[in-house]
Amino acid sequence: MPTLRLGSIAPNFTAETTHGSINFHEWLGDSWGILFSHPDDFTPVCTTELGAVARNSEEFKKRNVKVIGLSANDIDSHDRWIKDINEVGKTSVDFPIIGDKDRKIATEYDMLDHLDATNVDQKGLPLTVRTVFIIDPKKQIRTLISYPAAVGRSFVEVLRVIDSLQRGEKHKFTTPVDWQPGQDVIIPPTIKTEDAKALFPGAQINEVRPYLRFVADPSK
């Protein structure tokens, strides 16, 4: 099985979800996508995570991002679990969750837990870790983040990464540490200062070092 890296094409698959059967690439269409995995249904950390994603539904839609979860359980279990997520999170889960009881998709995407020997189901099969894949409309993997089962993710950070990717790609900039939309951005070293002046007309370029040049966020 080939290793998935940044730039790899996200493997296509057909799967049963809480929204019916989907072909992953067809479902994504021309949208960006987030595929994120969970160790198990009816678990505390996962319940808080899915609630957070549901509450941020409009933020993902603003960015043309489709979200889909995956857990190593069947659809009936997911449907029962969603009721808990909605009640606990005071929200409404409107995105599909994949049923991957046989771990086929989790194996293809290398989501299985090889660290924690206790993170297994009743049959002793390894469960998934908390992996996030951010996929662009060309079906390329643009970001890959994995958390251990015991650590909940920050979907505020996931949104920040999407903003950086989308805006940076459109306006030809990169982003510094802890960047938030509207803050100054970095001119890539591959762009000469004279070319940057044309790329960012009227903007003041702050040259801290020849290789480190800041400019106001043109996407704000």
Return the pLDDT at 85.
96
Q: How confident is the model at residue 158 (pLDDT cuts 50, 70, 90)?
A: very high
pTM above 0.75, yes or no: yes
**pLDDT over 70 (residue 76):** yes
Separation of alpha carbons 123 and 203, rounded Å: 61
Separation of alpha carbons 132 and 34, rounded Å: 7
Return the pLDDT at 123.
64
Strands (E), 50-140: 65-71, 97-99, 130-135
| C-alpha closest to that of 129 among 21, 45, 28 | 45
Q: Are 62 and 165 in contact (CB under 8 A)?
A: no
On the CB side of 200, CA atoms within 13 Å amount to: 27
- Percentage of residues in the chain with pLDDT exceeding 70? 94
Return the pLDDT at 108.
93
Separation of alpha carbons 115 and 17, rounded Å: 27
Q: Write the pLDDT tens digit of every residue in 81-93.
A: 999 999 999 999 9
Average pLDDT, the chain: 93
Which range (104-113, 137-146, 153-162) has the least confidence?
Answer: 104-113
Return the pLDDT at 127.
74
Q: Write the pLDDT tens digit of every residue in 8-64.
A: 999 999 999 999 999 999 999 999 999 999 988 999 999 999 999 999 999 999 999
Residue 208 Ramachandran class (φ > 0 left, ψ -120 to 50 alpha, else beta): alpha
Return the pLDDT at 1.
55
Catalytic positions, written as ranges: 46
Q: What angle do CA 53, 58, 61 make, to 5 degrees?
A: 100
Average pLDDT over residues 158-162: 97
Q: Write the pLDDT tens digit of every residue in 117-151.
A: 666 666 666 777 799 999 999 999 999 999 988 89
Return the pLDDT at 219.
86
Give the tokens for residue 202. Answer: 């009227």
Give the tokens for residue 3. Answer: 């290793």
Return the pLDDT at 121.
66
Separation of alpha carbons 205 and 67, rounded Å: 37
Q: Write the pLDDT tens digit of every residue in 46-62.
A: 999 999 999 999 999 99
The domains found in the chain, sorted by start residue, are: 14-153 (3.40.30.10), 172-215 (3.30.1020.10)
Give the tokens for residue 138. Answer: 């060309």
Return the pLDDT at 183.
97
